[in-house]
Amino acid sequence: MLAAGDSPVHKLHPSAKLVVTIAYIIITVSFSKYQLNGLLMMIIYPAFLFSSSGVTVGTCFRKLRFILPLVLAVGLFNPLFDRAAMIKIGNITVSGGTISMVTLMLKGVFCLAASFLLMATTSIDNLCAALRQFHLPPMMVSLLLLTYRYIGVMTEELSVMTDAYSLRAPGQKGIKFNAWGSFLGQLILRTMDRADELYNSMQLRGFSGSFTYADCKRFDRRDALWIVLWILLFLICRFLDIPGILGSLLLGGFS
């Protein structure tokens, strides 16, 4: 349970982390497809969170291993369609397609890492409490929370069924194709039954459609500062060509 950590990032108000993550994703996505320079600066946010939250980069990439290939596949064909030369590094000419491919991949990886870091440093209940503070409809927030819980129930049942299958199919790798239909059907029926039981249990304890969330800590000056500073930094990265300025400074462009 990464969200149960005790780092300064974990202690921030969930609303502050949510706002900054949303702002980060919007600003990251808004970079144009050839703006690789500026986009690279956006690594600051995930890098800072990794170093200060105790969540390791390895954990992040291990947890995201099934989604990352899909994200990396985005823009894979750009170099084939956009062959116009864009920059030259020594004797190597880099096409616009290659730059746009890398930009798209980085956007995906950065956004995924930021979302992962939000989830890894904030419990789902606190996150939902924050969403309610932003006046999102209770039904929508409850749906999000219940979906999250349902995934847990489903994976638990899946693990029990997979174990039962493999114990009666020694030496067999995975589940045979012709058993997929009944396996999936059983899985859905079992998870529906369990979800039904859980729902009954909730109803019997007074649940009437919206969760009463545990109290979040108070939103204080530190949380406000977190939001302001990060958004300011994102905007600077977005609208100023920091690598260009740094390059000019280093090469004496201002002299």
* Binding stretches for another protein (CB under 8 A): 1, 4, 123-125, 149, 194, 197-198, 200-208, 212, 214-215
Give every CB contact of residue 172 below 8 A, 6+ residues apart in sequence. 166
Closest distance between another protein and the C-beta of residue 194, in Å? 6
Least CB distance to another protein at residue 205 (A): 4
CB of 178 to another protein, least distance (A): 31
Task: Please report the DSSP string for 170-199 in residue order.
Answer: TT--S--GGGHHHHHHHHHHHHHHHHHHHH
Please state the closest distance from residue 144 (CB atom) to another protein, in A. Answer: 15
Cα dihedral across residues 148, 149, 150, 153: positive or negative: positive
Q: Give 169 or 214: the residue with its C-beta nearer to another protein.
A: 214
Per DSSP bridges, beta strands 85-89 and 92-95 are antiparallel
Can you tell me the distance from the alpha carbon of 30 to that of 103, in angstroms, rounded to the nearest whole number? 11
* 27, 39, 71, 81 from 105: Cα distances, Å: 15, 11, 6, 17
58 or 206: whose CB is closer to another protein? 206
Instruction: Give the residue with the Cβ less far from another protein, 92 or 204.
Output: 204
Q: Measured from the CB atom, is 43 or 195 closer to another protein?
A: 195
Nearest distance in Å: CB 202, another protein: 7
Of 152 and 252, CB closest to another protein = 152
Q: Sign of dihedral through CA atoms 208, 210, 211, 213? A: negative
Determine the Cα–Cα distance for residues 13 and 15; give it in Å rounded to an integer.
Answer: 5
Tokens of 209: 């459609």
